[in-house]
Amino acid sequence: MEALGYYNGAYGPLDEMTVPMTDRAVYYGDGVYEATPTRNKVIYALDAHVNRMLRSASLLRIDMPMDTEALKAELKRMVALVDGGDNVLYWQLSRGTARRAHPFPEGTKANLMMMITPYRFPDLTQYVKCITLEDTRFLHCNIKTLNLIPSIMAMQTAKEQGCYEAILHRGGRVTECSKSNVHILKDGRLITAPADNLILSGIARAHLLEACAALGIPAEERPYTVKELMRADEILITSSTSFLRRAVSVDGQDAGAKDPENFEALKSYVWTRFLRETSV
């Protein structure tokens, strides 16, 4: 089986799985999620993703329906059940199942959903185009919540303009992309937005900072502007499933692509780390 689904302990072909209409994820998006690639049936950065889900769930006051080790065991079982080793594993936690009412329902247990599908890893030698858009999301972007409508609309706009991503900003301050983090290189220094409530602190972002430390590239976590983005030597897009992409065009203008040495070093480090961690 290539695509498998899971809901509260029940497994089945993904396209045949259903969830209750009264799951609070359905009508409120009341939940959190994670996703990461697998290779050779190894889940990449599993601990980091599980720990982030625990933080997100805690911020929304959602109780985990099982302990951490049991969750990891269930995720590993999911991976073992499918054919092929190159997949994307997605899992989400909703507050529970209850009739529609805004306050938290009493006496309900959180619902756990998982799905796994085949994945083709991106060609990191292919550079990408981006657009900029005003960030219209709410002020809890540090929580990996299911509420993604602004991100979906931003990504659709980028797609319709033939672009890979939408780089979001609030009043000119760059935050992140619709489904990625964004960073710049300037004068040999990496600059990335601070991990406050305006961005999701990505696992791939952490790996990029690790790469900078290993390679001796100074890194600075601070707010930066769209103007700085357009003047940057490199524009880097990171996410768990796309690793590290190089943007060479923003809003139809050439941008970045001026520091190939540092870009190639960072790309090599990030990709090699993934290959090493998912080898058997």
CATH number assigned to the domain comprising residue 50: 3.30.470.10
- pLDDT digits over 171-226, tens only? 999 999 999 999 999 999 999 999 999 999 999 999 999 999 999 999 999 999 99
Domain that holds residue 182: 128-277
123 falls within a domain: no
CB atoms closer than 10 angstroms to residue 14: 17
Residues 189 and 262 in one domain: yes
Q: What is the number of domains present in the chain?
A: 2
* 191 close to 246: Cβ distance less than 8 angstroms: no
Residue 103 burial class via C-beta count within 10 angstroms: exposed 0-12, middle 13-18, buried 19 and up? exposed
For 5-55, what is each residue's pLDDT tens digit? 999 999 999 999 999 999 999 999 999 999 999 999 999 999 999 999 999
Q: Are residues 184 and 228 in the same domain?
A: yes
Question: Please, are residues 94 and 188 in contact by the beta-carbon 8 Å criterion?
Answer: no
- Does a structural domain hold residue 32? yes
Percent of the chain exceeding pLDDT 90 equals: 98
Domain boundary among 91, 118, 145: 118
Residue 42 lies in a domain: yes
Does residue 171 fall inside a structural domain? Answer: yes
CATH number (domain holding residue 181): 3.20.10.10
For residue 21, what are its two tokens? 């209409």
pTM over 0.85: yes
Joined together, the tokens standing for residue 90 give 């997605």
**Distance between the two ends of the chain, CA-based, in angstroms?**
22
Gap between the Cα atoms of 272 and 278, Å rounded: 10
Q: Which residue in 48, 31, 14, 37 sits closest to 89, CA to CA?
A: 37
- Both tokens assigned to 274: 């993934």
Q: Please identify, among 72, 90, 118, the residue that sits at the C-terminal boundary of a domain.
A: 118
What pLDDT score does 280 carry? 86
Across the chain, which distance is largest between two alpha carbons, in Å?
57
Same domain, 147 and 189: yes
Mean residue pLDDT across the chain: 97
Pair 73, 155 in one domain: no
Outline where DSSP puts E strands in the chain. 4-7, 10-13, 31-39, 42-43, 87-94, 111-118, 128-134, 165-170, 173-177, 181-186, 189-192, 219-221, 234-239, 243-250, 253-254
141 with 166, same domain?
Answer: yes
pLDDT the model gives residue 85: 87
Domain final residue, candidates 118, 137, 171: 118
Shared domain check, 158 and 67: no
- Enzyme catalytic residues: 144
Could you tell me if 34 and 165 lie in one domain?
Answer: no
